[in-house]
A = this chain, B = another copy of it.
Amino acid sequence: MREGPDIARIASLVGDPARANMLNALMGGTALTASELALEAGVSLPTASSHLSKLMEGGLLTLASQGRHRYYGLAGPQVAGMIEAITGVAEAVGPKRVRPGPRDGAMRVARVCYDHLAGEQAVAMLDRLVARDILLRNDNEIRLGPSAASHFSAIGIDVGAKPRRPVCRACLDWSVRRSHLAGTLGAAILDKILAEKWARREKDSRAVVFSPPGKQAFERVFLG
């Protein structure tokens, strides 16, 4: 009967299937409306609304009201990280997947993690950026290297702005068990990939699928 942070409270929020589905959907990074989340969770609108207010009260979500729409999103990278950690355990102890399936394979290669890219591609990218000294890494702390500004501005990403959120962050990848790049730079790179149509997001999934030429372009720019 010890004290400390109330982990049961947080875990029980994630522990309901409807809420877990909602959180999973929000791991895609885009904020969703209550009706979209109700559909996603397979429950009625009133039920979804009740779940959402609980998640809000628990501090796991943020809310952005725009007119008559109310967009719910994950409260931050830490929450996303927790979901990834739980997913990792569920994956490990869960029923031995009868068959990894093609979609599952695609998820391992590349997927969206909150607002940035995850999966093998993302891990390889961070490795390469560090190897080329474009980013400087010390454990989970990642800083811009001397050539970062010119390198990224050449491909249309401005790293000069100083938002409150850190520019770079390491984020643990549940499929590869290594880190990939998060932070505003990670988000900007994902934006770039999608804007250039190097890859598209799989419908109803976190998977990100590169087109063959898109993959080449990505590798030339980030793994070159």
Contact = CB atoms under 8 A, between A and B. Distances in A.
Interface of A: 1-2, 4-17, 19-21, 23-25, 39-42, 58-60, 75, 78-79, 81-94, 127, 139-141, 172, 177-179, 204-205
B89 A82 contact: yes
A104 B6 CA distance: 14
A12 B16 contact: yes
Contacts of A91: 5
A2 B89 contact: no
Contacts of A140: 172, 177-179
A207 to B, nearest CB: 11
Given A78-B88, A81-B85, A204-B2, A93 B58 contact: yes
Contacts of A41: 1
Contact of A16 (B8, B59, B81): B8
B9 A90 contact: yes
Contacts of A75: 93
Given A11-B13, A12-B12, 4 more contacts: A2-B40, A7-B24, A12-B16, A79-B89
6 contacts: A1-B21, A2-B24, A8-B21, A59-B89, A78-B88, A79-B89
Nearest to A81: B85
